[in-house]
Structure 1
Amino acid sequence: MAKNALQAQLLKAGLVDSKKANKISKQTQHAKRTGDSSNIDAKKALADAQAKKIEKDQKLNQEKQQLLEEKMLKANIIQMIKQHQLTETNGDISYQFVDDSKVKKLFITQKLYDQIVSGHVVIARLDDSYALLPRPLADRIDSKLEGFMVVSNDTVEDELAEDDPYAAYVIPDDLMW
């Protein structure tokens, strides 16, 4: 027996036999259960969307991992500075230096002053204050992450302009004002 009116009319007209009608009805039921060819396209689109989402999630995870590693590196550097900073630095002599275009002043001993001027001791940024570090440690810290060293007198910067009229007059670093 035919399932719908069209199949019944085709059977009466003799255009389709009963086996063929049953086969077509089974195919339509199967297509309804499993989905049409448009459903296959939807599955492909869904798989593509999932692949893009996975790729996006991996990129976000990499960025988070990089931020976490950078945060850990900063924390390790701050810990190294706190552990190895020179103590007994308070003294009568003031050492002035520039940090972020502001002039800062530290009161230190004469021995530390001489070591800073000669480049054996470096001034490093520690949270909201400053710490005095030995040169080898400061070099290791600077090689890991830049931005902590504020004063390093060992490096000579030759940024003199060619037309500078005062280029021949050298101002010593240990000049007292």
Structure 2
Amino acid sequence: MVKNALAAQLLKAGLVDNKKAKKLSKQAQHEQRTGQNNDAEMKAKIEQDKQQKLAKDQALNQEKQRVLDEKALVAAISQMISQHKIKDTDGEISYQFIDAAKIKKVYINQQIYNALVSGSLVIAKENNSYAFLPKALAERINEKMAGFIIVNNTENNQATTDEEDPYAAYVIPDDLMW
């Protein structure tokens, strides 16, 4: 298999593969026959390979850590949503909103409906369902990671009107029922 002890050590350390090990052993045999010795060059090459492997391993570890941190953040946000969501929201009034380019409908009571329209409550995605959260908590969640808050009517209520718009004085209510 491998005749050279150095090549065997490199193989065991994972710095070279079988192909490189054979090449190194052939180089060593050639050097012994011809009397040439490139130890310094070979050591520099080995050190360079070690540095490249170390840099690659560090990059992989950083990527793994980033993925783990993101998973932990998602889990923490999901826990915050489940702990602070408003319960007992069932009612007869339908509220429609857009989630992932689809129109969704939930049935809620009048108090929740008024809070949603005024912007004091928001709708957040919780696993496969929706949760109603206070606005302050929604802002904290958005600071940590975007994508959980689906409906936030405070942004719509605070939209600036054009000064040249002739109908700027006429506000269209969001809770208009047809």
- TM value normalised by structure 1: 0.72
Match of 2:174 in 1: 173
Match of 2:62 in 1: 62
Match of 1:51 in 2: 51
* TM-aligned CA distance change 1:38 to 1:160, over 3 Å: farther
Any idea what the Cα deviations from partners look like across 1:50-106, whole Å, max 9, x if unmatched?
A: 101101100110111011000000000001100110000101111111111111011
Any idea what the Cα deviations from partners look like across 1:20-47, whole Å, max 9, x if unmatched?
A: xxxxxxxxxxx96xx9531321111011
Give the superposition deviation at 1:175.
1.8
Match of 1:134 in 2: 134
Larger Rg: 1
Match of 1:103 in 2: 103
Q: Within 2, Cα distance between the matches of 1:60 and 1:112?
A: 47
RMSD, aligned α-carbons: 2.5
Any idea what the Cα deviations from partners look like across 1:154-175, whole Å, max 9, x if unmatched?
A: 01375999xx9x9897542112
Q: Secondary structure at the match of 2:131?
A: strand
What runs of 5+ residues in structure 1 fail to find an aligned partner? 1-30
Give the superposition deviation at 1:145.
0.4
Match of 2:84 in 1: 84
User: What amino acid does structure 1 have at the position aligned with 2:64?
Assistant: K
Count of residue pairs the alignment pairs up: 144
Q: Within 2, Cα distance between the matches of 1:118 and 1:41?
A: 74
* TM-aligned CA distance change 1:105 to 1:140, over 3 Å: same
Question: Which consecutive aligned stretches of 4+ in structure 1 deviate over 4 angstroms post-superposition?
Answer: 157-161, 166-170
- TM value normalised by structure 2: 0.72
Identity of aligned residues (%): 49
Q: Within 2, Cα distance between the matches of 1:56 and 1:176?
A: 60
